[in-house]
Amino acid sequence: MGTVGGSCLGSTLVSDAMIQAVGLRKSFGDFEAVKGIDVEVRKGEAFGFLGPNGAGKSSTMRMIAAVSPASAGELRILGLDPATDGPAIRGRLGVCPQEDTLDNELNVFDNLYIYGRYFGIDKATVRQRAEELLDFVQLTEKRKSRVEDLSGGMKRRLTIARSLINDPEVLLLDEPTTGLDPQARHVLWDQLFRLKQAGVTLVITTHYMDEAEQLCDRLVVMDKGLIVAEGSPRQLIEQYSTREVAELRFGVGEHEALGEKLADLGNRVEVLPDRLLVYSDDGERVIAQTHERGLQPVAVLVRRSTLEDVFLRLTGRTLAD
Amino acid sequence: MATTLSLREGTARQYDYWWTVYKRTWKASIVSSFLSPVFYVLAMGVLLGGFIAGDPDQLEGATSYLAFVVPGLVAAHAMQTAVGETTYPVMGAIKWHKSYFAQLATPLDPAHLVAGHLMFVLFRLATTCGVFMIVLAPFGVFESWWGPFLAFASQVLVGMVFAALVFGWSARLKNEAGFGVLFRLGIFPLFLFSGAFFPVANLGEAGAWVARLTPLWHGVNLSRMFCVDAVDWPVAAINTAVLVALLVVGWFWSVSGLTKRLVF
């Protein structure tokens, strides 16, 4: 694993970070997708970009993957400038794109073998590495199958295996579990955990808050091209939410008016179309007090705060919006 | 300091990919590559040509219509092969199966991808034109031993010109409707009127000059002059220069087109 260096261009970027961005921007014509973000990803950590669709996550990922030139700002990947060292950077990154870009007409093994050859890895090494990776993603029995015949979860695992063929120092995963069933997601998460334990730096974009909580040591919350918060999942929840949330469901159309009546029960009340969220460190007490006031919710639920609540607090919207 | 991957190295790294593609598709390409041209030679050259007097003055130096039409047919076939390999396959790699995007996540750049694809077309042209020429040898249509080799080279060259120009066009197209325009208004009229089937002089003076401005005519003319051993060397030099210039233009047009589509 190469050391990454130092004083690039005598600029503000002096660090041993795997990825460092300062004032990074991306525009497409008049539309600015990324509006000046600062990011630092350290070696060995799992770093997340959390935000809804259109927040600028994928544009940021493409710039980090050295396939999309930054419109402004500074960016260093592994200490190198993607504007001039694209091939060298890409040779040390693994990329798992949002959409599967596997070759449907090749078999499983050939997808890995041929991809490895693009990195200039010699044939014997790439064959051995492909076999190891098939074992890692539990596809050894499928090595001769055509990609078309694999399930969605298997294709994702094969894409992950392909992104590891060059033994990357940083693995970029763009919405890795979108479209997968719960079981397939957990299998994938387990594999990503194991990679992290093996020392691979992970950079993940997701609009699933549970995924961000499960996988990320540290994350930034993005909204409309800007970073609105940064920290570990726990820090963010402590900083922007309460320990618990009481969810109260009333009749259709009643939530707006009831929100005001219950505002004093918690630190904060969010009115959603189908329920009220009352933020408090004691959710059960909120529900008891609601009943004491003669209100009868159709359904109640007390849960711990999640990153979804952080996002709602920061942007006034849910991640699904 | 910038670190770049050389064009040669980047292209070589795609060899396994294209070889696998070829192993997967060569059987399907037999009909279009080898059988169709043979049908053309039989129908146009032998059967239809039997009704045409073999006058070298009328047929640009050929002693039979078969000897006249065959070099043009191979050049036109090279064009069609090249166009076939650089239309839907290019759009598919950008838009449908997105294999160019997967390749771009490796050290390869768009120029490497264009070069790899064009080298595969070169291989396809060399094999199809080569086999075609070998099959034609027993028909007695070649007037010298060396001419067919230069004719073969010019067929491959004109094919590569079309590969590069059409690659650049395909890389810029947003949907496949544009291919219909290309085939109907571009390739098909070129196939018919660029001198493969009749001397362009038959088109009248103005028509002949229009035909001589088309890339295919330069390839047809070279192929025919070498096959029938009636080489006008200054004209051959012009034909070659035009084709090489178009190939260079096509290369830059393709690389810029693919870069625009992949790097944004």
**Residue B41 within any structural domain of the chain:** yes
CA–CA min distance A197, chain B (Å): 24
CA–CA min distance B105, chain A (Å): 6
Residue with tokens 């909580």: A213
- Name the 3-class secondary structure at B48: helix
* Boundaries of domain holding B119: 11-262
**Order of strands across the sheet with A72-77?**
A31-41, A19-28, A72-77
Largest interatomic CA distance in chain A: 75
CA distance linking residue A190 with residue A59, whole number of Å: 27
Contacts of B261 in chain A (CB under 8 A): none
**A102–B20 C-beta distance less than 8 A:** no
**A84–B16 C-beta distance less than 8 A:** no
Pairing of β A93-96 and β A19-28? unpaired
pLDDT for B212:
96
CA–CA min distance B96, chain A (Å): 9
Contacts of B92 in chain A (CB under 8 A): none
Select from B20, B97, B103 the Cβ nearest to the Cβ of A110: B20
Give the burial class of A11: count Cβ atoms within 10 A of its Cβ; 0-12 exposed, 13-18 middle, 19 or more buried.
Answer: exposed
Residues shown for chain B: 264
pLDDT for A1:
36
Model confidence, pTM: 0.90
CA distance linking residue A164 with residue A48, whole number of Å: 19
CA distance linking residue A103 with residue B21, whole number of Å: 10
Instruction: Give the fold, CATH level 3, of A242-304.
Output: Alpha-Beta Plaits (3.30.70)
**A103–B102 C-beta distance less than 8 A:** yes
Question: Considering only the top CATH level, what class is A12-230?
Answer: alpha beta
Q: Which of A238, A267, A255, A268 is nearest to A297 (CA)?
A: A255
**A230-256 core/surface letters (b: 16 or more CB in 10 A; e: else):** ebebeebbeebbbebbbbbbbeeeebe
**Residue B5 within any structural domain of the chain:** no
Select from A68, A105, A163 the Cβ nearest to the Cβ of B264: A68
Q: Is B23 on the interface with A (CB under 8 A)?
A: no
Rounded to 5 degrees, what are φ and ψ at B141? -100, -5
CA distance linking residue B135 with residue B122, whole number of Å: 20
pLDDT for A101:
93
- Please say whether the beta carbons of A171 and A94 come within 8 A: yes
CA distance linking residue B109 with residue B160, whole number of Å: 21
Q: Is B221 on the interface with A (CB under 8 A)?
A: no
pLDDT for A2:
37
Spans of chain A, pLDDT less than 50:
1-11
Which tens digit of pLDDT belongs to each residue from B153-204?
999 999 999 999 999 999 999 999 999 999 999 999 999 999 999 999 999 9
pLDDT for A8:
42
**Residue B38 within any structural domain of the chain:** yes
Angle at CA A41, nearest 5°, toward A35 and A46?
115
Q: Is B4 on the interface with A (CB under 8 A)?
A: yes
Q: Is B35 on the interface with A (CB under 8 A)?
A: no
**Residue B4 within any structural domain of the chain:** no
**B262–A67 C-beta distance less than 8 A:** yes
**Residue B70 within any structural domain of the chain:** yes
Q: Which of A190, A283, A185, A301 is nearest to A243 (CA)?
A: A283
**Residue B104 within any structural domain of the chain:** yes
pLDDT for B238:
98
| Number of domains forming the structure of chain B | 1
Q: Which residue of B has its CA nearest to A84?
A: B2
pLDDT in tens, chain B (264 residues): 455 899 999 999 999 999 999 998 888 888 877 788 888 889 988 899 989 888 888 899 998 999 999 999 999 999 999 999 999 999 999 999 999 999 999 999 999 999 999 999 999 999 999 999 998 888 888 999 999 999 999 999 999 999 999 999 999 999 999 999 999 999 999 999 999 999 999 999 999 999 999 999 999 999 999 999 999 999 999 999 999 999 999 999 999 999 999 999
**Residue B177 within any structural domain of the chain:** yes
A-B contacts at Cβ under 8 angstroms: 75
**Residue B43 within any structural domain of the chain:** yes
Which tens digit of pLDDT belongs to each residue from A149-183?
999 999 999 999 999 999 999 999 999 988 888 98
- Give the N- to C-terminal CA distance of chain A in Å, as an integer: 41
Q: Where are the domains of chain A?
A: 12-230, 242-304
Which 136-155 residues of chain A touch chain B by CB within 8 A?
none
